[in-house]
Amino acid sequence: MATGEGYGFPSGHATTAVLVWGGLAWSVRIGRHRQRVAVAAGLALLIGLSRLVLGVHFLVDVLAGFAAAGAVLWLALTRLRTPDRVFGLAAVVAAVGIGTSGLTQNAAAALGIGVGGAIIWRLLGGQSPAATPAGARLTAALGVAVVLTAAGATLAVRPAPLATGLAAAVGTALLLAMPLAGERLAKK
């Protein structure tokens, strides 16, 4: 019914679900904190459950993904505290992974995300602009266009790992600069 390539421990989907939804619950200021955490936890649990129902992971794989991501999220929010430090840590971990396991598509993408994110966050002065409703709409539209274009190109071309890393760095930089572009376009 479903197949996968590579290692199954820990579940990458479970890990990513906690990191993405947990990070959004922390960073997005819509609703109350408890509501955001509840939604994030519910979505992460559903994603973890989907891995079990599809039969692509064992329970221990999903739980290990949740635990690893929870530890990283805790480290990012309580110790590193700034996005450029978090991106820097991601780049270091990716570089260690490349050094120990070789250059793969995923490792190159992780390195690109870490390096691109750290550089652009520093260039942006370490902050995103205050959002206006018009700027937020334009930012969302730009974001969807960039993500769909990048995903479509990646699936169509299947680039080499080095090209994947470069595309990930540029894509991350574009996504982080998106709020600035959206606000500037909204002012015009």
Distance CA 66, CA 60 (A): 10
Distance CA 24, CA 33 (A): 11
Tokens at residue 44, please? 């992460």
- Looking at the chain, the whole-number percentage of residues with pLDDT higher than 90 is 55
Packing angle of the helix pair 133-157, 161-187 (nearest 10 deg): 160
Which of 14-18, 22-26, 148-152 has the weakest average pLDDT? 148-152
Report, as an integer, the average pLDDT of 165-177: 90
Average pLDDT, the chain: 89
Report, as an integer, the average pLDDT of 80-90: 91
> Do residues 171 and 150 touch, judged by C-beta distance below 8 A?
yes
pLDDT above 70: residue 5: no
pLDDT above 60: residue 64: yes
Report, as an integer, the average pLDDT of 98-126: 92
pLDDT at 158: 79
Tens of pLDDT, residue by residue over 121-146, are 888 887 776 778 888 888 888 888 88
Domain boundaries, the chain: 1-81, 82-188
SS3 content of the chain, % helix, strand, coil (to 5): 80, 0, 20
